[in-house]
Amino acid sequence: MAVSIFTAAFADEHRSRFRENARPSALLDVWTFLQRHFGSGFLGAYDQERLVGYALFVCSLGSVQRKATVTGEIFKWALRALVGRYDFQVSALARVVRNKVYFFCGAQRFRTHGDAQLLNVAVDPAAQGRGIAKVLVRAGLEAMSRQGVPEVRLEVRPWNTAAVKVYERTGWREVGRTRDLDGEWVVMTVTPSLLSP
């Protein structure tokens, strides 16, 4: 269900990277792994028992990378991508990989404490504009604060005005900019313990 929200909310991005009618296998693999090992950061918003949005926080990006390496998952994903199991458009695959490398190389930039990250937030297009993203992000930050996480970081495209607004409204501040092959990212951070409940 969260995967179908992702594909609807990021429809343009999805179309540019995956073949038509692609199976969402890549997301399912990565999110199943995250849920199994880092499930406390996976938050869902429900409307009459139907999932309408999610946010995905991790307390430490480094531990995700280490876990993916020691369990061998990262190699499994790479192999599946290479043999075409993820339905990536061949022309987009190299770009996706290079952008991920930029992401991981820049992951420590502009940080002052730790390596917690807000990886993704999305709301079903039919449920957008009702404050759901703000509630999800605030709930995630409260959970981070309870776990003693000193600072959380995220990147957002400067032209994603809806997302930038959500983050500004939930206490995040821009600390710098970085870029990859598709353009600029705004880097934002927040100190969860300083936010009022």
Ligand X SMILES: CC(C)(COP(=O)(O)OP(=O)(O)OC[C@H]1O[C@@H](n2cnc3c(N)ncnc32)[C@H](O)[C@@H]1OP(=O)(O)O)[C@@H](O)C(=O)NCCC(=O)NCCS
Residue 176 near ligand X by CB under 6 A: no
| Length of the chain measured in residues | 197
- Residue 95 binds to ligand X (criterion: CB under 6 A): no
* One residue of 59, 156, 187, 188 binding ligand X per CB under 6 A: 156
Q: Can you tell me which of 50, 66, 169, 177 binds ligand X, judged by CB under 6 A?
A: 169
Q: Where are the alpha helices (DSSP H) in 48-195?
A: 61-70, 73-82, 90-105, 132-146, 161-169
Alpha-carbon torsion angle 189, 172, 102, 71, nearest 10: 70
User: Does residue number 133 form part of the binding site for ligand X (CB under 6 A)?
Assistant: yes
- Quick one: which H or E segment has residue 33? helix 25-38
For residues 118 and 57, the answer to whether their CB atoms sit within 8 Å is yes
Interaction between residue 160 and ligand X (CB under 6 A): yes
Which one of residues 4, 71, 147, 161 is an interface residue with ligand X (CB under 6 A)?
A: 161
User: Which range in 68-76, 85-93, 142-150, 160-168 contacts ligand X by CB under 6 A?
Assistant: 160-168
For ligand X, which is the closer residue by CB, 2 or 26? 2
Q: Looking at beta carbons only, is 67 or 130 nearer to ligand X?
A: 130
- Cβ atoms 8, 128 nearer than 8 A: no
